[in-house]
Amino acid sequence: MGVYQQMQDRLVDAGCALMKELSAEVVEVCDGGSLDVSTEVVVATIGYAADTCRGAIVLVSSPSFLRAIDAGVPAPASAHELGDMQGELSNMLLGLKMMMRKHGVTFVVATPTSIVGLDLALPPPSGGTSSWHRFASARGDLHVRFDAIFDVAFVLGATSAPEGDAAEGEVLVF
Protein backbone atom coordinates (compact mmCIF):
# COMPACT_ATOMS: atom_id res chain seq x y z
CA MET A 1 0.00 0.00 0.00
CA GLY A 2 1.38 3.41 -0.96
CA VAL A 3 2.06 6.28 1.43
CA TYR A 4 -0.77 8.43 0.08
CA GLN A 5 -3.23 5.56 0.52
CA GLN A 6 -2.00 4.93 4.08
CA MET A 7 -2.43 8.60 4.98
CA GLN A 8 -5.80 8.73 3.25
CA ASP A 9 -7.04 5.62 5.10
CA ARG A 10 -5.95 7.17 8.41
CA LEU A 11 -7.77 10.38 7.52
CA VAL A 12 -11.00 8.49 6.76
CA ASP A 13 -10.74 6.55 10.04
CA ALA A 14 -10.03 9.76 11.94
CA GLY A 15 -12.98 11.52 10.26
CA CYS A 16 -15.44 8.79 11.21
CA ALA A 17 -14.10 8.59 14.78
CA LEU A 18 -14.19 12.37 15.22
CA MET A 19 -17.76 12.67 13.99
CA LYS A 20 -18.85 9.79 16.23
CA GLU A 21 -17.22 11.54 19.20
CA LEU A 22 -19.18 14.68 18.31
CA SER A 23 -22.48 12.75 18.15
CA ALA A 24 -22.71 12.95 14.37
CA GLU A 25 -22.71 9.36 13.16
CA VAL A 26 -21.33 9.41 9.64
CA VAL A 27 -20.66 6.93 6.89
CA GLU A 28 -17.80 7.54 4.48
CA VAL A 29 -19.16 7.51 0.94
CA CYS A 30 -16.52 6.32 -1.49
CA ASP A 31 -17.68 8.33 -4.48
CA GLY A 32 -16.55 11.59 -2.89
CA GLY A 33 -20.06 12.91 -3.45
CA SER A 34 -21.27 15.98 -5.20
CA LEU A 35 -20.32 19.23 -3.57
CA ASP A 36 -23.07 21.85 -3.79
CA VAL A 37 -21.55 25.26 -3.21
CA SER A 38 -24.54 27.19 -4.59
CA THR A 39 -25.87 27.38 -1.03
CA GLU A 40 -24.02 28.77 1.97
CA VAL A 41 -21.07 26.59 2.98
CA VAL A 42 -18.37 26.74 5.63
CA VAL A 43 -14.86 25.93 4.43
CA ALA A 44 -11.71 25.42 6.49
CA THR A 45 -8.27 24.47 5.30
CA ILE A 46 -5.17 23.48 7.23
CA GLY A 47 -1.76 22.94 5.73
CA TYR A 48 1.00 20.62 6.84
CA ALA A 49 4.63 20.19 5.82
CA ALA A 50 7.65 18.02 6.52
CA ASP A 51 11.08 18.02 4.91
CA THR A 52 9.98 15.86 1.97
CA CYS A 53 6.19 16.15 1.88
CA ARG A 54 3.51 18.81 2.20
CA GLY A 55 -0.18 19.26 1.63
CA ALA A 56 -3.49 20.40 3.05
CA ILE A 57 -6.81 19.18 4.33
CA VAL A 58 -9.94 21.09 3.29
CA LEU A 59 -13.31 20.66 5.03
CA VAL A 60 -16.60 21.84 3.51
CA SER A 61 -20.04 21.55 5.10
CA SER A 62 -23.29 23.41 5.54
CA PRO A 63 -23.83 25.68 8.55
CA SER A 64 -26.70 23.38 9.62
CA PHE A 65 -24.31 20.41 9.77
CA LEU A 66 -22.01 22.31 12.14
CA ARG A 67 -24.90 23.55 14.26
CA ALA A 68 -26.15 19.97 14.70
CA ILE A 69 -22.83 18.65 16.03
CA ASP A 70 -22.59 18.17 19.78
CA ALA A 71 -19.16 19.66 20.48
CA GLY A 72 -19.87 20.35 24.16
CA VAL A 73 -20.26 24.07 23.47
CA PRO A 74 -23.27 26.16 22.41
CA ALA A 75 -24.15 25.73 18.74
CA PRO A 76 -22.29 28.25 16.57
CA ALA A 77 -24.53 31.13 15.51
CA SER A 78 -22.41 33.69 13.68
CA ALA A 79 -20.30 33.22 10.56
CA HIS A 80 -17.23 33.78 12.74
CA GLU A 81 -18.25 30.99 15.14
CA LEU A 82 -19.03 28.63 12.23
CA GLY A 83 -15.61 29.29 10.73
CA ASP A 84 -13.91 28.74 14.09
CA MET A 85 -15.71 25.43 14.57
CA GLN A 86 -14.87 24.17 11.07
CA GLY A 87 -11.24 25.27 11.60
CA GLU A 88 -11.08 23.34 14.85
CA LEU A 89 -12.51 20.26 13.14
CA SER A 90 -9.78 20.50 10.49
CA ASN A 91 -7.17 20.77 13.23
CA MET A 92 -8.58 17.72 15.01
CA LEU A 93 -8.76 15.78 11.77
CA LEU A 94 -5.06 16.32 11.18
CA GLY A 95 -4.53 13.61 13.79
CA LEU A 96 -2.70 11.71 11.07
CA LYS A 97 0.25 13.81 12.24
CA MET A 98 0.78 11.36 15.11
CA MET A 99 0.53 8.35 12.80
CA MET A 100 3.18 9.79 10.49
CA ARG A 101 5.46 10.63 13.43
CA LYS A 102 5.52 6.91 14.27
CA HIS A 103 6.99 6.42 10.77
CA GLY A 104 9.72 9.01 11.33
CA VAL A 105 7.94 11.91 9.58
CA THR A 106 7.44 15.05 11.66
CA PHE A 107 4.91 17.60 10.37
CA VAL A 108 4.71 21.29 10.97
CA VAL A 109 1.03 22.28 10.95
CA ALA A 110 -0.36 25.65 9.90
CA THR A 111 -3.15 27.55 11.62
CA PRO A 112 -6.55 26.68 10.10
CA THR A 113 -8.10 29.26 7.80
CA SER A 114 -11.86 29.38 7.29
CA ILE A 115 -14.44 31.15 5.19
CA VAL A 116 -18.23 31.19 5.06
CA GLY A 117 -19.91 32.09 1.80
CA LEU A 118 -22.05 31.34 -1.22
CA ASP A 119 -21.01 29.99 -4.60
CA LEU A 120 -17.40 29.38 -3.58
CA ALA A 121 -14.96 27.80 -6.03
CA LEU A 122 -12.09 25.66 -4.81
CA PRO A 123 -9.48 25.16 -7.51
CA PRO A 124 -7.72 21.81 -7.78
CA PRO A 125 -4.22 21.67 -6.30
CA SER A 126 -1.39 22.45 -8.71
CA GLY A 127 0.56 19.29 -8.02
CA GLY A 128 0.66 16.07 -6.07
CA THR A 129 -2.29 13.85 -5.30
CA SER A 130 -5.73 14.97 -4.21
CA SER A 131 -8.99 13.22 -3.37
CA TRP A 132 -12.40 14.14 -2.03
CA HIS A 133 -14.22 12.15 0.63
CA ARG A 134 -17.83 12.60 1.64
CA PHE A 135 -18.99 11.69 5.12
CA ALA A 136 -22.79 11.38 5.03
CA SER A 137 -24.98 11.75 8.10
CA ALA A 138 -28.60 12.43 8.94
CA ARG A 139 -27.49 15.97 9.80
CA GLY A 140 -25.88 16.65 6.44
CA ASP A 141 -22.62 15.91 4.70
CA LEU A 142 -19.04 16.76 5.55
CA HIS A 143 -16.76 16.89 2.51
CA VAL A 144 -13.02 16.49 3.07
CA ARG A 145 -10.33 17.02 0.44
CA PHE A 146 -6.93 15.52 1.15
CA ASP A 147 -3.96 16.96 -0.79
CA ALA A 148 -0.40 15.61 -0.58
CA ILE A 149 2.85 16.20 -2.44
CA PHE A 150 5.79 13.86 -1.85
CA ASP A 151 9.35 14.68 -2.91
CA VAL A 152 11.37 11.89 -4.53
CA ALA A 153 13.44 11.70 -1.32
CA PHE A 154 10.38 10.92 0.84
CA VAL A 155 10.77 7.73 2.87
CA LEU A 156 8.20 6.22 5.18
CA GLY A 157 10.12 4.52 7.97
CA ALA A 158 9.14 1.42 9.90
CA THR A 159 6.47 1.89 12.55
CA SER A 160 7.88 2.77 15.96
CA ALA A 161 6.86 5.01 18.83
CA PRO A 162 9.24 7.97 19.04
CA GLU A 163 10.89 8.11 22.44
CA GLY A 164 9.37 10.66 24.80
CA ASP A 165 6.25 11.20 22.69
CA ALA A 166 2.93 11.73 24.37
CA ALA A 167 -0.01 9.51 23.53
CA GLU A 168 -2.64 11.01 21.24
CA GLY A 169 -4.84 13.33 23.30
CA GLU A 170 -2.33 13.50 26.18
CA VAL A 171 -1.38 16.96 27.45
CA LEU A 172 2.27 17.85 28.07
CA VAL A 173 3.20 20.81 30.25
CA PHE A 174 6.58 22.47 29.67
**Interatomic CA distance for residues 22 and 44, integer angstroms:** 18
Which range of residues forms the domain containing residue 13? Answer: 3-150
Three-state DSSP at 35 gives: coil
Q: CB 42: neighbour CB atoms within 10 A?
A: 27
171 lies in some domain: no
As for how many domains the chain has, the answer is: 1
128 lies in some domain: yes
137 lies in some domain: yes
pLDDT at 115: 93
- The model's pLDDT over 94-109, given as tens digits with 9 standing for 90+, comes to 766 666 777 677 888 8
Three-state DSSP at 81 gives: helix
Higher per-residue pLDDT: 13 or 37: 13
Higher per-residue pLDDT: 135 or 115: 115
159 lies in some domain: no
37 lies in some domain: yes
Q: How many percent of the chain have pLDDT more than 70?
A: 76
pLDDT at 174: 41
7 lies in some domain: yes
